[in-house]
Amino acid sequence: MRTDGHNRPAILFLCLGNICRSPLAEGAARAAFADAGIDATLDSAGTGDWHIGHPPDQRAQAEARRRGTDISDLRGRQLAVDDFYRFDLILAADANNLREARALAPPDATARLRLMLDLVPGRRGESVTDPYYGADDGFAATWADVSAVAAALVAETSSG
């Protein structure tokens, strides 16, 4: 994995509104990278603009807390052109968000674009569970998905 100018991976997690899946992915990755002793630049964003400046969904915050991770300080933001140069990897939660990111990407973008679950063996092409309109237990499924992604990122970074 390429690293930013400070010899650390720079990864952006992307979903639609940046209040459920991508902040949970950022939180899981922060915890996994910290546990592994790896310094990384980690952030999250949404392709939509509905939740700019808003904290993560209360149910997402509760799930992260149950897992020992605090994401309450995160705030929603929208994917920006600068992100394609600031990050070496942009991981989308699903095919629609990946398509939106590719449409926004400048021709000379340096970031690689992938689906989050493409990093997890046996999950290629799958979407991270979107819990927003479902019951609270959907957030546990989302956490399981993004934790698997975080573990795969740590393994890839450690071996690279």
| CATH number where 93 lies | 3.40.50.2300
Residue 106, SS3?
A: coil
CA–CA separation, 48 and 101 (whole Å):
11
Name the pTM for this structure. 0.94
Residue 134 inside a domain? The answer is yes
Tokens of 3: 């690293």
In which domain, by residue range, is 137 found?
10-159
Catalytically annotated residues: 15, 21, 130
Place 8 in a pLDDT band, splitting at 50, 70 and 90: confident
Percent of the chain with pLDDT over 70: 95
Given a contact cutoff of 8 angstroms between Cβ atoms, the answer to whether 11 and 89 are in contact is yes
Residue 60 inside a domain? The answer is yes
Tokens of 109: 């973008």
Element (H, E) at 65: helix 58-66
Residue 4 inside a domain? The answer is no
Place 135 in a pLDDT band, splitting at 50, 70 and 90: confident
5 pLDDT more than 50: no
14 pLDDT more than 60: yes
Residue 1 inside a domain? The answer is no
Q: What is the number of structural domains in the chain?
A: 1
Residue 14, SS3?
A: strand
Residue 153 inside a domain? The answer is yes
72 pLDDT more than 50: yes
